[in-house]
Amino acid sequence: MIKLTSTKDIVRFVNILIYAEAGWGKTEQCKHAPNPLIISAEGGLLTLTDEDIPLMEINNIADATEVCDWLDMSKEPEKYTTVCVDSLSEIAEVLLSDEMKKTKDARQAYGIMHNEMSMFIRRLRAAHKDVYFTAKQKKVVAEVGGAINYMPAAPGQMLLQALPYFFDEVLVGRYGKLSTGEIYRYIQTNEDRQYTAKDRSGTLQKIVEPDLGKVIETIKAGKRLTQQEK
């Protein structure tokens, strides 16, 4: 029988996607996450070699399913607070490559990869943990007018278009330049004419410092404050 509850009784977990150009520091953000576990298909975890963070690697569709089953059914994941997926772009490419080996029909392979990735993302979002996803940055140049836009990268047009809609928070890692010429990093939280972004929580400033832990803390504090005010 379906149980009637209340939106106030739902435990809130944060799901965040940060995309940025290579070298910005998306992977490094994992060390700022509260008590993290990393799920990765990336070879580029060099920035975390001194951190001793638990890691699970995905090399095919079976691995992705096994990881989700483990999060759903095992008690071991209870000791982790944040699941960090680095990166969705790479995992999608790995799953696509795995499917391409099974079929000669490229369209079918892309369709299966899209379905598998959609299920993978949804299952992680339902894992009762904060989940941090990284993605590569894709540059898109309009055929008419040549306008340039940036968005999270993914293989296949279906997944590329669907990716931002899976997440409450779609943030962009960017660089700024001080009057002294010094380069600094920041996170953009709102969409503009060039960058896809959104802050569904409504708690973040338009620009925040690159600290995933503080971002998660701010979002959760904002939700608790809203409930108390009501």
Residue labelled with tokens 């920035």: 47
Percent of the chain with pLDDT over 70: 88
Residue 64 token pair: 């992705």
Instruction: Note the CATH architecture for domain 7-229.
Output: 3-Layer(aba) Sandwich (3.40)
Number of H helices, E strands in the chain: 5, 10
Cβ distance 68 to 58 under 8 Å?
Answer: no
pLDDT band at 229 (very low <50, low <70, confident <90, very high): very low
pLDDT band at 183 (very low <50, low <70, confident <90, very high): very high
Q: How many CB atoms lie within 10 A of CB 164?
A: 17
User: Highest mean pLDDT range out of 6-20, 181-195, 210-224?
Assistant: 181-195
- Whose CA is closest to 76, among 126, 123, 29, 129? 129
Residue 53: how many CA atoms within 13 Å on its side-chain side?
Answer: 31
d(CA 60, CA 64): 7
Residue labelled with tokens 């944060």: 14
Please tell me whether residue 151 adopts helix, strand or coil conformation.
Answer: strand
Quote the mean pLDDT of the chain. 86
Residue 132 token pair: 């941090």
Q: Which residues of 96-128 are buried (b: 16+ CB within 10 A; e: fewer)?
A: bebbbeeeeeeeebbebbbebbeebbebbbebe
- pTM for the whole thing? 0.86
Cβ distance 150 to 139 under 8 Å?
Answer: yes
pLDDT beyond 60 at 117: yes
